[in-house]
Amino acid sequence: QRKGEMQNMENEGNGQTRLTFLAPSRGLIGYSTEFLSATGGYGIMNHTFEKYAPVIKNWEPGRTQGALVSINAGSATTYSLQSVEDRGQLFINAGTEVYEGMIVGQNSRENDIAVNVTKGKNLTNTRAAGKDHAAAIKTPKDMTLEESIEFLNDDEYCEVTPKNIRLRKKILNTGERQKAAKRKKIAASK
C-alpha cells in the first residue's frame, strides 16, 4: 500500500533485525505512528533522501473509510455527539465550533456521511419516569499534523492555525458537494 521495496534484511544478533526499504516520501506520511504501534514502541525508524523518481501512478488512497461531515455551523453539543459517535470515531469535543463541510470524525464504513453535531436536546417542562443519565462521550481522537495529512482524500483540505488543525471538504456546501460527486461518478463511468 505504501509502495516500499525491501532492499536488505540483517539479523543484528542481539534479538534485533535491521530492515532497509526504499519507499517514496509520500508513502511515509503517517507511517511513524503505525510503525510504533506495530513494534510496541520498541522500533527505531530512520529515513533519508535517496533520489528523485517518477511519480507512482495509480496510488491508492490512504484510507478506506469515509468521513463524518458537519452539515451545520455552530457549537457541537454533547447530545448530538452521542448519536453521531455510534457511526465512527470523533475528532471533536462538545463545545467545539464547527462549520458546514468540516470533518468531525471518521466513519466506520467507506462512504462519507453528513451529520448534524449542533443539534440540542428538546427541553420540556415534564420529567420522564426514568432519570436522565449524565451525558458522556468517548474521548475524541486528537490528530497530529502528520496523521491529518495522511487522513486526507483528494476532495479534502487540512487547515492549520496556531491553535487548531482542522479537516474540511474542498466544497463546503453539502448540496454542491453531492452534485460534484455525482458529476465525478458520471465522468468516471464514461
- pLDDT for the residue numbered 126: 61
Inter-residue contact 90 to 104 (CB < 8 Å): yes
pTM for this prediction: 0.75
Any idea how long the chain is? 190
The pLDDT tens digits of the residues spanning 103-127 come to 999 999 989 999 999 998 777 766 6
Residue reference for cell 443539534: 119
3-class SS letters over 131-187: CCCCCCCCCCCCCCHHHHHHHCCCCEEEEECCCCEEEEECCCCHHHHHHHHHHHHHH
- pLDDT for the residue numbered 96: 94
Superfamily of domain 67-122+131-189: bipa protein (2.40.50.250)
Q: Where are the domains of the chain?
A: 1-50, 67-122+131-189
Inter-residue contact 135 to 47 (CB < 8 Å): no
Where the chain has pLDDT below 70, the residues are 60-62, 125-135
Cell of 165: 488543525
| DSSP code, position 73 | -
